[in-house]
Amino acid sequence: MTNKTDTELGKIEFIQSERAKNINVRILKDSLRVTLPRRATETDAMCFINSVRERIVRKQEKLRNSARENNLLLRENSRLQTLTFVVEIQRMERENVFFSMKNAVLTIEFPQTANCEDEKIQAVFWNGINYFLKKEAKRVLPERVRILADEYGFSYLQVKIQSSKSRWGSCSLGKNINLSFVEIQ
């Protein structure tokens, strides 16, 4: 695995794969992840990237704009409803951010002096929310899969909740169901 930096496209990460049959370019808002089959070189990949550079640049800009539009800013007294709990955010006399889950309410307490609009505080808020969302997914989804398996007549051995970036889920030959948890924000 090697990296290059392009002034227009950002970091370009090259990954060699025994299973890949074609050059695969994954476009991210500020970088590219390029998977190369055994017979392809980085030069081959760059020729392909340069041939579609304008399309890649437009796609990256669209991803950046989408991220800005979808960026939910959490503030004091914000209330966020999830499937199984409510998130409440409160400014308190404390030195750090604190998370507490009771009676289907996730309370986030943060210091009086903290600026809610600061990216670091927002990242702490969202990391905590994602932690509890994943915990709830592990609690709720296995039972939901069992109900659906009974209803549709299929069998499985176990359900796993994992953090995959490219799939919603999968089922292995060993009858294990893998569901993907995608972090929000």
What are 14-64's pLDDT values in tens digits? 999 999 999 999 999 889 999 999 999 999 999 999 999 999 999 998 888
Report the run of H or E that residue 15 belongs to, with start and end.
Answer: strand 10-17
Residue 61 maps to a domain = yes
Same domain, 94 and 28: no
Residue 86 maps to a domain = yes
Same domain, 146 and 91: yes
Same domain, 48 and 11: yes
pLDDT for 165 beyond 80 = no
Per DSSP, the three-state class of 102 is strand
d(C-alpha 76, C-alpha 134), whole Å: 23
d(C-alpha 35, C-alpha 25), whole Å: 6
Residue 175 maps to a domain = yes
Domain that holds residue 163: 79-180
Residue 74 maps to a domain = no
Same domain, 61 and 133: no
Q: If pLDDT is split at 50, 70 and 90, which confidence band does 68 have?
A: low
CA proximity to 111, closest of 86, 89, 85 = 89
Q: What is the average pLDDT score of the chain? A: 91
Q: Which of 69, 93, 122 is the last residue of a domain?
A: 69
Same domain, 98 and 58: no
pLDDT of residue 128: 96
Same domain, 55 and 83: no
Same domain, 23 and 49: yes
What are the residue ranges of helices labelled H in the chain?
42-51, 53-69, 119-152
Q: pTM here?
A: 0.66
Sheet holding 98-102, edge to edge: 79-81, 86-92, 105-111, 98-102
Q: Which of 69, 100, 121 is the last residue of a domain?
A: 69
Residue 185 maps to a domain = no
Q: Which tokens is 179 given?
A: 């569901």
| Domains in the chain, number | 2
Q: Which of 69, 94, 118 is the last residue of a domain?
A: 69
